[in-house]
Amino acid sequence: MRPRDRHLVMFVKAPRLGRVKTRLARDIGGVAAWAFYRRMVSDLARRLSVDGRWRSWLAISPDGALWDGHRWPTTCDLVSQGSGDLGDRMGRVAAVLPTGPVVIIGADVPGITPGHIDQAFRALGGHDAVFGPSPDGGYWLVGLRRRPSFHDPFQGVRWSSPDALSDTRANCPAGWRLAELEMLEDVDDGPSYRRRQRQS
């Protein structure tokens, strides 16, 4: 399969002060949380989008941030997330991308490496979906084979809850082969931020 037929999508919010990492901001302050998010998005996009094994996309929210003058990395293609909850937006982006497997990640997991993304695409060679679980019951990565057709597993998921991963898995059709990667933690609050700082 050609690299251009593999799609890595990073879901990001425009890095606006007071609009990103609000839970983290309650613990470390708004400016510190905003600066951390900006660094995280920039570093993740730089590290992952230069890899020639896949085509990199940034799925942007809000939609107007595509054109509001923010300097997004030129190594990524841009797509808007659209409206609705996270499931609506993930399903919409996964449905409109060109043909080929798609892997979706968030921008708040600094530990993601190109090796993780390669593992996900390799897993989709023999599975219909792949998940990267997180300790809180959610997931930091989801990949869909999208062949022979796209099936949306994101509707009715209890987002930001301990049931997010199990709900999404339950939405997968009977007979789907599911793979799982290692567990990674996202940085959403003060304790996870401090754990990340100790690891850096």
Which DSSP symbol is given to 173? P
Lowest mean pLDDT among 46-50, 100-104, 119-123: 46-50
Q: Give the pLDDT confidence score for residue 71 in this predicted structure.
A: 78
Q: Give the pLDDT confidence score for residue 189 in this predicted structure.
A: 84
- Residue 162: pLDDT band (50, 70, 90) is very high
Range of the domain at 88: 3-199
Distance (Å, whole) CA 80 – CA 153: 20
Summarize pLDDT for 127-158 with one digit per residue, the tens.
Answer: 999 999 999 999 999 999 999 889 999 999 99
Higher-confidence position of 200 and 61: 61
Mean pLDDT of 71-85: 91
Q: Give the pLDDT confidence score for residue 52 in this predicted structure.
A: 93
Q: Give the pLDDT confidence score for residue 3 in this predicted structure.
A: 81
Write the burial class of residue 153 (CB in 10 Å: 0-12 exposed, 13-18 middle, 19+ buried): buried
Q: Give the pLDDT confidence score for residue 200 in this predicted structure.
A: 65
Domain count, the chain: 1
Bridge partners (DSSP) listed for residue 144: 102, 129
Distance (Å, whole) CA 97 – CA 42: 23
Q: Return phi, psi of residue 13, to 5°.
A: -100, 150
CA distances from 9 to 80, 89, 170, 199 (A): 11, 12, 23, 26
Summarize pLDDT for 15-42 with one digit per residue, the tens.
Answer: 888 889 899 999 999 999 999 999 999 9
CATH number at residue 147: 3.90.550.10
Lowest mean pLDDT among 51-55, 105-109, 181-185: 105-109
Q: Give the pLDDT confidence score for residue 16 in this predicted structure.
A: 87
Q: Give the pLDDT confidence score for residue 69 in this predicted structure.
A: 59
Question: HSE-up of 158 (CA within 13 Å, CB side)?
Answer: 8
Which DSSP symbol is given to 156? T
Residue 1 has pLDDT above 80, yes or no: no
- Residue 170: pLDDT band (50, 70, 90) is very high
Mean pLDDT of 57-76: 85
